[in-house]
Amino acid sequence: METSGSTEKLGSKYSLLELIGTGGMAEVYRAKLVGTGGFEKPLVIKKLLSEMAGDKEVVENFIDEARLAALLQHENIACVYDFGEQDGSYFIAMEYLFGKDLHTTLSQAKSARGTIGINQALFIAAQICAGMD
């Protein structure tokens, strides 16, 4: 991965714009696909942490996650566009969904009221179930 100004490049077609979050095995970036003639598409890159790349089991689990996620198609599930490896770093390129994530929604509700309302909780649960159906 190389740096171009304040933007990191992943291979020849992805630019990592902003770190969204870090989990136990990967980092998630707001990114864009950069194509010919100024073509750009916003997306998310989930990149395996470099310290995990040497762990065969973690790499296999990441690859399995990419394979499984690529099979899922529903409006409530981010589409997988690409999977790859660049300089020993594995990544998944996924659809960027605009809007608030569940963590932010729950945090804001907790700060304002202590909890979300029953209607909102049921709506969230129904949307999760619809995606998993």
Nearest to 14 by CA among 30, 5, 25, 37: 30
More confident residue, 120 or 4: 120
Give residue-wise pLDDT tens across range 111-127. Answer: 888 888 889 889 989 98
Give the pLDDT band (50/70/90) at residue 96: very high
What DSSP state is assigned to residue 37? G
Q: Please report the beta strands in 36-119, taking only residues with DSSP state E, as ranges in sequence order.
A: 40-48, 80-86, 89-95
- Phi, psi (deg, nearest 5) at residue 49: -60, 140
Strand-pairing partners, residue 21, are 28
- Alpha carbons 123 and 132: distance in angstroms, whole number: 14
Write down the pLDDT at residue 63.
Answer: 94
Give residue-wise pLDDT tens across range 46-95. Answer: 999 989 988 999 999 999 999 999 998 888 888 999 999 988 889 999 99
Give residue-wise pLDDT tens across range 105-115. Answer: 888 888 888 88
Q: Please report the beta strands in the chain, taking only residues with DSSP state E, as ranges in sequence order.
A: 2-4, 7-10, 14-22, 26-34, 40-48, 80-86, 89-95
The three-state secondary structure class of 12 is coil
Give the pLDDT band (50/70/90) at residue 3: low
For the cut 90, the answer to whether the pLDDT of residue 17 exceeds it is yes
- Alpha carbons 106 and 72: distance in angstroms, whole number: 25
Write down the pLDDT at residue 102.
Answer: 82
